[in-house]
Amino acid sequence: MKAAAMGLAGVLALTACGGGDPGDGGLGGSSKKRVEIFSWWTGPGEVDGLKAMRQIFERRNPNFTFYDAAVAGGSGDQARALLSSKLKANRPPDTFQGHAGAELQGYIKAGKLEPLNFLYDELRLRDVFPEQLVEQITVDGNIYSVPVNIHRSNILWFNPKVLKDAGVSGPPKSIKEFVDALEKVKKAGRIPLSIGPQWTRVHLLESVLLGSLGTERYNALWTASADWSGADITTALENFKKITSYAGTPQEDWQPAAKQVADGEAAFNVMGDWAYGYFANPPDGGLGKTAGQDFDWASAPGTDGTFMWLSDSFTLPKGAPNRDGAIAWLKVAASKEGQDAFNPLKGSIPARKDADRSLYKDYLAYSLEQWATNRLAGSIQHGVVANDAWRNAINEAVGRFMQDRDVAKLQRALVGAAKNSGQ
Ligand code: GAL
């Protein structure tokens, strides 16, 4: 909590001095109008995709200046805390990143967003985005955001050499095989599973739940009346306890945890496919590593055939100071050019169905194929299945669990979190 509070204080200090983008023409008496774009893409790997979209935005809009209001911290927990105080005070940025699904529905229900039907009509976007994705960002026939990508959360990243040295023949396919492999790596004297801050544990939990419960049962968990008290959930949480007992020292964010795998210090890391951008992008943004050699991937154990998805989307908040500028940004985010520049670097596949497939190689070619053929499940940590209150309650329960390791207590907390979610 202390670290999060310090992070937020740092952020406030930064925004207070108008920082974040020294090249901001809007503050320097220039006639260009600035567009404040709020995200949490500041770290290695993440920022490369944003930069690519920014270049297109600047080229297309000589009258606007891109003002980068990004707040550091993977998965955006810190960014969302600041955003929520800005929205409450009716001081929104011009546009902000929000996850399609329950998270975005929260902003909509709170009356914070303008519908974007006019943009969907003008750009004929209903034809280019998958129907089931548009449903996630629609309320009462109004569409409220522009999805820029599809990410996958249930990926097991691993170091092939570390596995080989430990006598593990390949990536584990089931939870049981996973535990056996973790034990072998431990005996071989390497870190079995690298881990980052608190949210990465919730990220791990969603894959363990999916791998333990199966897709149908997992997908049925996301209404307030769902049953979280069953013996199957107890088993899934026991699995989580066992798996987390092999975790290394928590790293500051997801990048250093992923890097432990690429550097051969750790065998496994369960992380979203933004890790691919970080592994593969050329330095300085990425690590310039080679798939199949320095790192490799598989579906998180027990989840093969299911794509646990999430989607970054951009919004038009009510009262955006530079509404035209925000719309200009949304047009870039919606475009084929924007998505094909952003996604190959971000480690995601485009939300648009008509993107240039030849740009998506290696892991990304695999992901396109999986997205087209797999069953779907939604991410918890990344805003798809649980609204903010529910996600926060899960987060707190997992945080307490890491201290007391009490499965029964964790399960009671999760039963309560579902009941009180109002979802
Ligand atoms: C997710 C977001 C991704 C990536 C990740 C790590 O919530 O959707 O785009 O940024 O966090 O920060």
Distance 221 CA to ligand 1 centre (A): 23
Q: Is the CB of 74 under 6 A from ligand 1?
A: yes
**Is residue 122 pLDDT above 90, yes or no?**
yes
Q: Is the CB of 382 under 6 A from ligand 1?
A: yes
Q: Is residue 71 part of a domain?
A: yes
**Residue 359 in tokens:** 């740009």
- The model's confidence at residue 14, banded by pLDDT at 50, 70 and 90, is very low
How far, in Å, CA of 221 to CA of 165, rounded?
39
Do residues 282 and 397 both lie within one domain? yes
Residue whose structure tokens are 């020292």: 249
- The model's confidence at residue 13, banded by pLDDT at 50, 70 and 90, is very low
Do residues 293 and 413 both lie within one domain? yes
Distance 74 CA to ligand 1 centre (A): 6
pLDDT at 4: 42
**Residue 156 in tokens:** 């097991």
Q: State the closest ligand 1 atom to the C-alpha of 272, by its place in the atom list counted from 1.
A: 5
**Is residue 1 pLDDT above 50, yes or no?**
no
Structural domain boundaries enclosing 318:
20-150+311-369
Q: Is residue 165 part of a domain?
A: yes
Residue 269's φ and ψ, nearest 5 degrees, are -150, 125
Kindly calculate the radius of gyration of the chain based on its CA atoms and give it in whole angstroms: 21
Average pLDDT over the chain reads 93
The closest residue, in CA terms, to atom 12 on ligand 1 is: 74
Report DSSP state, residue 86. H
The closest residue, in CA terms, to atom 7 on ligand 1 is: 75
* Burial (Cβ within 10 Å: 0-12, 13-18, ≥19) of residue 20: middle
Residue-wise pLDDT for 356-397, tens only, equals: 999 999 999 999 999 999 999 999 999 999 999 999 999 999
Q: For residue 170, give the CATH number of its domain.
A: 3.40.190.10
Residue whose structure tokens are 């300085």: 284
Residue-wise pLDDT for 396-419, tens only, equals: 999 999 999 999 999 999 999 999
Q: Is residue 139 part of a domain?
A: yes
Q: Is the CB of 151 under 6 A from ligand 1?
A: yes
Q: Is the CB of 46 under 6 A from ligand 1?
A: yes
For the segment 58-68, the average pLDDT, to the nearest whole number, is: 98
Do residues 164 and 265 both lie within one domain? yes
Give residues with Cβ within 8 angstroms of 269, minimum separation 6: 156, 157, 158, 193, 194, 195, 257, 258, 260, 261, 275
Residue-wise pLDDT for 206-237, tens only, equals: 999 999 999 999 999 999 899 999 999 999 99
Query: Is the CB of residue 330 less than 8 Å from the CB of residue 115?
Result: no
Of 128, 34, 24, the C-alpha closest to 329 is: 34
Query: Is the CB of residue 49 less than 8 Å from the CB of residue 342?
Result: yes
Residue-wise pLDDT for 190-200, tens only, equals: 999 999 999 99
According to DSSP, the β-strands at 64-68 and 33-38 are parallel
Residue 173's φ and ψ, nearest 5 degrees, are -95, -25
pLDDT at 32: 84
Do residues 143 and 165 both lie within one domain? no
How far, in Å, CA of 108 to CA of 324, rounded?
20
Do residues 82 and 162 both lie within one domain? no
Do residues 252 and 292 both lie within one domain? yes
Domain count, the chain: 2
**Is residue 336 pLDDT above 60, yes or no?**
yes
Q: Is the CB of 96 under 6 A from ligand 1?
A: no
Residue 201's φ and ψ, nearest 5 degrees, are -75, -40
The closest residue, in CA terms, to atom 5 on ligand 1 is: 75
Q: Is the CB of 312 under 6 A from ligand 1?
A: yes
**Is residue 6 pLDDT above 80, yes or no?**
no
Distance 392 CA to ligand 1 centre (A): 17
**Residue 15 in tokens:** 């925004």
Do residues 144 and 159 both lie within one domain? no
Q: Is the CB of 77 under 6 A from ligand 1?
A: no
pLDDT at 379: 98
pLDDT at 297: 98
Q: Is the CB of 203 under 6 A from ligand 1?
A: no
- The model's confidence at residue 19, banded by pLDDT at 50, 70 and 90, is very low
Contacts 24+ apart (CB under 8 A), 336-343: 337/56, 338/53, 338/56, 338/57, 338/148, 339/148, 339/149, 341/49, 341/52, 341/53, 341/55, 341/56, 342/49, 342/50, 342/52, 342/53, 342/148, 342/149, 343/49, 343/148, 343/149
Q: Which of 39, 41, 75 to mutate to test the pocket of ligand 1 (most atoms within 8 A of CB)?
A: 75
Q: Is residue 15 part of a domain?
A: no
Of 42, 49, 45, 34, the C-alpha closest to 11 is: 42
Q: Is residue 3 part of a domain?
A: no
For the segment 35-48, the average pLDDT, to the nearest whole number, is: 95
Do residues 159 and 266 both lie within one domain? yes
Do residues 252 and 332 both lie within one domain? no
Percentage of residues of the chain with pLDDT beyond 70: 93
Do residues 181 and 203 both lie within one domain? yes
Q: Is the CB of 310 under 6 A from ligand 1?
A: yes
For the segment 105-122, the average pLDDT, to the nearest whole number, is: 97
Q: Which of 153, 269, 382, 385 to mutate to test the pocket of ligand 1 (most atoms within 8 A of CB)?
A: 382
Strand arrangement, sheet containing 149-152: 349-350, 149-152, 306-310, 375-378
**Is residue 159 pLDDT above 50, yes or no?**
yes
**Is residue 246 pLDDT above 60, yes or no?**
yes
Q: Is the CB of 49 under 6 A from ligand 1?
A: no
Q: Is the CB of 147 under 6 A from ligand 1?
A: no
pTM of the model: 0.93
Q: State the closest ligand 1 atom to the C-alpha of 41, by its place in the atom list counted from 1.
A: 10
Q: Is residue 169 part of a domain?
A: yes
Give residues with Cβ within 8 angstroms of 395, minimum separation 6: 77, 198, 199, 202
Angle at which helix 388-404 crosses helix 102-109, to 10 degrees, equals: 130
**Is residue 28 pLDDT above 90, yes or no?**
no
Do residues 71 and 207 both lie within one domain? no
Q: Is residue 36 part of a domain?
A: yes
Do residues 146 and 68 both lie within one domain? yes
Peptide linkage before 284 cis (omega within 30 of 0): yes
Q: Is residue 361 part of a domain?
A: yes
Residue 151's φ and ψ, nearest 5 degrees, are -105, 160
